[in-house]
Amino acid sequence: MRGLPPNRRAVVIAGLRTPFARSGTVYRDVTAAQLARHAARELLYRTELPGNEVDQVMIGQVVPSPLIPNVAREVSLLPQLPKTIPAYTLNRACASGAQAIANAADQIMFGHADVVLAGGVESLSDVPILHSKRFAQTLMAASRARTLGERVSLFARVRPRDLAPVAPAIAEPSTGESMGQSAERMAKENGVTREAQDQLALMSHQRAAAATEDGRLRAEIAPWFGGRDFAEVTTTDNGIRQDSSLDALGKLKPVFDRRYGTVTAGNSSPLTDGAAMTLMMSAEKAYSLGYRPLAAVRSYAVAAVDPGWQLLSGPAWAVPQALDRAGISWKDLGLVEIHEAFAAQVLSNVQAWSSREWAARAGRSEPVGEVDWERTNALGGSIAIGHPFGATGARIVTTLANEMVRRDVQFGLVSICAQGGMGFAMVLERV
């Protein structure tokens, strides 16, 4: 951050992730812990970092498995690392991976850590399916029952409807509105057209496909060996459609409002499994170990809005705050990465940043800035690449940092909308 002694700045050394895969495909038999461990282990190997240099591990995850509630600890217990590295798992919804990196930066700047493995993971193939409350209570009571008779009588009370499993829904607990419904509402309230959304989705796929083809995305991916005898090797994200077209996207039916809606499966991010890790260090540690940092964390900010209002508009507040904290303005940004939960949300955020009305809402006299698409989501975004909730933030930071080096720009911005009406923004700076 600004004003910090330069040797305590938190820098990104490298990032690596698993291929992102639509839930229920490549990783259907894999736990989130395995994904996160794979990404972390390969990151250690690629950076040739000795395991005993790692001070802390922080991982974002939104839907943890009840069997592995602290996935970060399972990562820090990799045999490549000493068993004595403390680790925790955090949940800032879709910004969790980025939040882990922000927390790592905090610890580094405080001087509490020099080397941190920070990232995120999600497996929606490995989600807990719950029992109904009534059946759960019966099971609990049965485990306490002393006699067979007691147990039998307990289960005799169970009705067929009690046995129906309960899957966790992606809905706001405070409003009951699903995220897709919110996006649909935002599209209408902000006047975002279906065409504009499909256009953005198409760009996401085309850019992601090109960046995969030219190796920029592949370089951030550790091959995954899966299936029986490891025979299935995955090296790329399986949601990217090279052959996507406006025509094909236009044919998809809206999901949340079949009649007047504009949000489709094509212009939304899919349910995805994957893990992404970054290696964070203090600048002084990086130089003493001989690493060349990609970028430093210049600032970050988190904001929240009323979830009952425009649920995914948090970035409208978080981004100007992060820019202020960085002491720079929008026009200083050489690259911008916006998390694409929904095209409707991205375009709403973009509109908000450029609007006087939104600026006034945020108590600012001037709009934040105009998005230049040449410098925004240059390698595609979550619509094409996929969106494992916990992992996306770390994916975006890594991609941004690498592209900042390639394009030699000084400042880059990360913007992520998150469940609960939250928004996350981070400014990276070349060092």
List the catalytic residues.
Answer: 94, 387, 417
Is the CB of 49 or the CB of 271 nearer to another protein? 49
Is the CB of 161 or the CB of 228 nearer to another protein? 228
Residue 223 binds another protein (CB under 8 A): yes
Site string for another protein, 28-47 (x = CB under 8 A): ---------x---xx--xx-
Residue 233 binds another protein (CB under 8 A): yes
Is the CB of 148 or the CB of 231 nearer to another protein? 231
- Nearest-5° angle of CA 369, CA 375, CA 381? 105
Site string for another protein, 351-380 (x = CB under 8 A): ------------------------------
Backbone angles phi, psi at 422, to 5 degrees: -95, 155
At closest approach, how far in Å is the CB of 80 from another protein? 6
Residue among 351, 305, 326 nearest 428 (CA): 326
At closest approach, how far in Å is the CB of 61 from another protein? 19
At closest approach, how far in Å is the CB of 2 from another protein? 35
Radius of gyration of the chain, Cα coordinates, nearest whole angstrom: 22
Is the CB of 50 or the CB of 176 nearer to another protein? 50
Please tell me the chain's helix, strand, coil percentages from 3-state DSSP, rounded to the nearest 5: 40, 20, 40
Of the candidate residues 173, 229, 243, 253, the single one contacting another protein (CB under 8 A): 229
Cα gap 330→189, rounded to integer Å: 25
Quickly list H helices, 214-314: 246-250, 283-289
Torsion (CA) 203, 208, 213, 214 in degrees, nearest 10: 90
Of the candidate residues 137, 152, 157, 225, the single one contacting another protein (CB under 8 A): 225
Is the CB of 166 or the CB of 233 nearer to another protein? 233
What are the C-alpha distances in Å from 385 to residues 253, 331, 340?
Answer: 21, 27, 10
Site string for another protein, 69-88 (x = CB under 8 A): ---------xxx--------
At closest approach, how far in Å is the CB of 278 from another protein? 16
What are the C-alpha distances in Å from 253 to residues 83, 265, 341?
Answer: 51, 8, 18
Of the candidate residues 193, 235, 242, 288, the single one contacting another protein (CB under 8 A): 235
Cα gap 161→145, rounded to integer Å: 23
Piece of the chain touching another protein by CB under 8 A; list 19-27, 220-228, 359-367, 406-414: 220-228
> Within 10 Å of residue 364's Cβ, how many Cβ atoms?
14
At closest approach, how far in Å is the CB of 156 from another protein? 36
At closest approach, how far in Å is the CB of 212 from another protein? 16
Residue among 124, 141, 108 nearest 30 (CA): 124
Residue 215 binds another protein (CB under 8 A): no
At closest approach, how far in Å is the CB of 287 from another protein? 18
| Number of amino acids touching another protein (CB under 8 A) | 19
Torsion (CA) 356, 360, 362, 367 in degrees, nearest 10: 30
Site string for another protein, 103-132 (x = CB under 8 A): ------------------------------
Cα gap 301→324, rounded to integer Å: 10
- Please name the residue that has the structure tokens 């829904």: 169
Cα gap 257→389, rounded to integer Å: 24
Cα gap 266→15, rounded to integer Å: 28
- Per DSSP, which regions of 132-226 are E strands? 224-226
Is the CB of 74 or the CB of 184 nearer to another protein? 74
Report yes or no: 384 and 205 within 8 Å, Cβ to Cβ.
yes
Is the CB of 110 or the CB of 225 nearer to another protein? 225
Which residues of this protein are in contact with another protein, per CB under 8 A? Answer: 37, 41-42, 45-46, 48, 50, 78-80, 223, 225, 228-233, 235
